[in-house]
Structure 1
Amino acid sequence: MPKHFSPAEWQTINTHLDQNPTAYGMPERRDDSVILASWNIRKFGTLADEDGPRKSPGAFAMIERFCSACDLVAIQEVQPNTASLYELRDRLNAAGGTFDVIYSDITGRAPGQMGMAERSGFLFNTARVRRGDLASDLSFDRSAVVKNMNKALAESIAKELPPSDDPTFMEKVQHWLSGATQMAGARLKKFVQFIRAPHLVEFVIEGPGGDYQLYCVNAHLVSGDSKRERQQEFFALLEWLLLDSESTVAEDGKIFLLMADLNLDFESSVDKRKRGVEAYLTDLNSERNLRAKVNFPFLDGGFLTNARRDETYDHIAWIAQDERLPRGRHNALAGTLGANQFDYGMFDFTQLFVDAGPAQGQGTDPDYSKFEHDFSDHMPIWVRLPIPSNGQHRFTVD
């Protein structure tokens, strides 16, 4: 059973947070704006097993405290057992909320087989956010998968096998084929299909000046040691959304809102990641003359979103053609336009736990073992948008 804070330590943490919640990035609920959040809550599934509660009471209460300030939360790592998700909804509603949930089928494994099985979940405040008509996984059809597989197979053969007139050709063919069961993983160095299918749900936020029609994409992309595989999934997802944006965004007026743990670790710094994304977008735009604009604000804000604060894994980003949503050049205006206008942030619970005292380790690093399993190993991130109104700020480009 993982270590966790004692009830007395959780009380100390909450008392410290009460003194200045915004200092740690805890969002504040306000009447004329909504909070849209994304959070990988580590192994958010069964409430208890033979070893006791999966989340300690204090950890679950802190999860509830954060979510109570939000209107829409995309949750990654919802487990096949959804008891914790429903318990979270029920606790929020018992406290006077009007929340509901929707989640995907199990993804990441085939039925009856081992794999990274989990669901993508949404928790939403029905007083502020209405479900739309669309809910679907994002997946490639069989012909596309076969085409991707054949292309990857041909490239793998070309790189790993010698010419057919090489005397060692047959020996190397036999060796290569002996690893056939691994071809979709380590042997094939090209994107074939998402390991865990992203989940898209339409939500609508209405106000006196119109509405936001959001196509929210909840994604938990592949993790592990292969940075190449992480890149492939990320750019495959981004290309999917960008190419579909011609009809969905430019013609239908929807907003793609990506709310995800992207495991975005394919360069050594946030600046390099940002330049890599910008170069990709520029190239694709020049090829297709796309009209929708893309904004990844958490690449601008200097946020390190894992609990150990050394990676920017988690993102809320949008693909839109809507002047009510900022472009990348406007991100510096976050929090300066008024209490209910555009802002974004991260609940830095690691700093909270250290400042309050219970997470202070023996050396310079916090004692991560006391919270990254019981609570989470990812920080929740959030974006504030005004309720649609005629007087809200418009992000125009001269």
Structure 2
Amino acid sequence: MAQHFTDTEWREIEAHLDAALAQNPEAYGLPERRDGSVILMSWNIRKFGAVADRDGLKKSAGATRMIERIAAQADLLAIQEQQEKTGALEALITALGGSHNVIYSDVTGRSPGYKGMSERFAFLYREDRVRLGHLASDLSYDRTAIAANMNEALKASFDTSVPGQDDPGYLEQLMNWVQNTTRLMGSQFSKFVQFIRSPYLVEFVIGGPDGQYEFYAVNAHLVSGKKNEREQEFFALLEWLLHDSRKTVGERRKIILIMGDLNMDFDSSNADRRIGIENYVTGINAKRRLDAKVNFPFLDGSFNTNARRTQTYDHIAWLADDTRLPRGRHNGLAGTLGLDQFNYGMFDFVQLFTEAGPGRLPDGTPDYNRFAHDLSDHMPIWVRLPRPASDQTRFTT
């Protein structure tokens, strides 16, 4: 059974956080809620599902209190690893009070009778700040595209698995390939065919003194498999959204907001990833004459979002043609424009647990086993935007 803090240790952690927040309202990167701005948050809460099973609570009472405390700071929270059972989510809504509501997807990532990497995608939102729009949908490829992708994948598999006809083992390997390929369950192709877990898009509207933001929020948890699989799913998602942006961003003036665990580790550094994304987007925009501008701010900050603080897996990013949202060149201005203006960050609960004491090993390093299963192995990230107003900062240069 996974370890966790005792309730006494959780109380010690909570007291330490209270004291830190009294000195700094955003200690450890926990965002402060303010009247003039909204907090958009994304968090992979590890195996967030039932409240309890026959072995007892799935998450300790202290972990549940910490989840409630973090979620209370968000106006819109995208949750990944929401399990099929939603008891913990429903309990969270009740604990947060009557102004909160939720919308979540059906289970994705599995087929009837087969095991898979299944989960739901959930959006928790404050109805006094965020209004649910008209659209909610999975993102997927149509049958024609899937067939084309499958054909490409089969050809690539054939080319790498079957030798030329002049090879003495040709017929045997050809038969082995045919037999293995027709048993599609569990097959691993070298080409992208379809998302393992279909991302979930929901429309939200955030109003303010002057105008509103109209978001198409996309909640995603991309594949965590091989390096090339991660890369293929990420760029497939980005291309899908860029292709849709001609109508969504260009004609309807919506903002596409990506919120999720994108499992991006296909390059050695965030700087390399950013350059790769910029080059990819520039190429597509030039080819298809798209106007959407893409910004992945967490590739510019020093944020390692997994609990072991080695990778920037989690992202809040946007595709927009709206001067109220910064472009990549403006990310350095985060936190400098005023309390309610653009900012972004991460609640570093690993640092909190280590400095509070219970989460620290004798050598001073974090004791991941005490919290990675009970709370999460990902840290929550957030973006602050001003509520729409005529005097808010415009990012025009």
Whether these two folds match at TM > 0.5 is yes
Say whether residues 1:167 and 2:171 are aligned partners. Answer: no
1:72 maps to 76
The SS at the match of 1:75 is strand
One-letter amino acid matched to 1:62: M
Partner of 2:363: 363
Cα distance, 1:271 vs structure 2 = 1.6
**Residues 181 and 187, structure 2, Cα contact 8 Å, conserved in 1:** no
CA 8–187 in structure 1, closer or farther in 2 if over 3 Å, else same: closer
**Letter of the structure 1 residue corresponding to residue 271 of structure 2:** D
Of 56-65 and 176-185, the range deviating more from structure 2: 176-185
CA distance in 2 between partners of 1:136 and 1:267 (Å): 31
Q: CA deviation at 1:364?
A: 4.6
1:59 alignment partner in structure 2: 63
Query: Is 1:279 paired with 2:283?
Result: no
For residue 244 of structure 1, report the CA deviation from its aligned partner. Answer: 0.5
> Residues 265-306 of structure 1: CA distance to partner in whole angstroms, max 9, x if unpaired?
111221221121112112212211211100000000110000
Q: Deviations over 1:70-98 (max 9, x none)?
A: 100000000000111111000000xxx50
Structure 2 equivalent of residue 14 of structure 1: 14
State the alpha-carbon separation in 2 of the partners of residues 362 and 174 from structure 1: 58
Residues 179, 187 of structure 1: 8 Å contact kept: no
Residue 228 of structure 2: aligned partner:
228
Q: State the alpha-carbon separation in 1 of the partners of residues 337 and 89 from structure 2.
A: 35
Segment drifting more, 372-381 vs 271-280: 271-280
2-side partners of 1:173 and 1:165: how far apart?
12
| Letter matched to residue 305 of structure 1 | T
Q: What amino acid does structure 1 have at the position aligned with 2:108? A: T
Quick check: 177-186 or 317-326, which moved more? 177-186
1:126-172 alpha-carbon deviations (Å, 9 max, x no partner): 00000000000001111111110011111221232122232221011
Q: Distance between the aligned counterparts of 1:352 and 1:193, measured in 2?
A: 39
d(CA) in 2 for partners of 1:186 and 1:118?
20
The 5-angstrom pairing of residues 1-398 of structure 1 reads 1-21=1-21, 22-93=26-97, 97-180=98-181, 187-224=188-225, 226-397=226-397
Deviation at 1:184, TM superposition (A): 7.2
User: What amino acid maps onto 2:233 in structure 1?
Assistant: E
SS of alignment partner, residue 44 of structure 2? strand
CA distance in 1, matches of 2:103, 2:188: 36
**Partner Cα separation in structure 1 for residue 173 and residue 107 of structure 2:** 39
Alpha-carbon distance between aligned partners in 1 of 2:360 and 2:183, rounded to the nearest angstrom? 43
How many Å apart are 1:187 and its aligned residue? 4.0
Contact 2:342–2:386 under 8 Å retained in 1: yes
Describe the superposition over 1:172-218 as per-residue Cα deviations: whole angstroms up to 9, x where unpaired.
11222343267576641000000000000000001121000000000
Range moving further from structure 2, 288-297 or 266-275: 266-275
Q: Are 1:293 and 1:321, in contact at CA under 8 Å, matched by a contact in 2?
A: yes
Q: Distance in 2 between matches of 1:83 and 1:184?
A: 31
CA distance in 1, matches of 2:183, 2:71: 40
**Percent of pairs identical after alignment?**
60
Q: CA deviation at 1:20?
A: 2.4
Question: What's the TM-score once normalised by structure 1's chain length?
Answer: 0.96
Is the 8 Å Cα contact of residues 39 and 380 (structure 1) preserved in structure 2? Answer: yes
Query: Any idea what SS the aligned residue of 1:179 has?
Result: helix
User: Quick one: distance in 2 between partners of 1:313 and 1:173?
Assistant: 39
Amino acid paired to 2:243: L
Which whole-Å deviations, capped at 9, do the CAs of 1:335-385 have from their partners, x for residues lacking one? 111111100000000000000000111335311000000000000000000
Distance 1:320 1:110 in 2: 35
Question: What's the C-alpha RMSD, in Å, of the aligned pairs?
Answer: 1.3
TM-score by length of 2: 0.97
How many Å separate the matches in 1 of 2:185 and 2:312? 27
Unaligned 5+ segments in structure 1 are none
SS at match of 1:63: helix
CA contact (8 A) 1:184 1:192 kept: no
Q: Is contact 2:354–2:365 with CA below 8 Å preserved after alignment?
A: no
The residue type paired with residue 76 of structure 1 is Q
CA distance in 2, matches of 1:103, 1:182: 33
Counterpart amino acid of residue 144 in structure 2:
S
Is contact 1:24-1:352 (8 Å) kept? yes
| Cα separation, 2, equivalents of 1:245 and 1:184 | 34
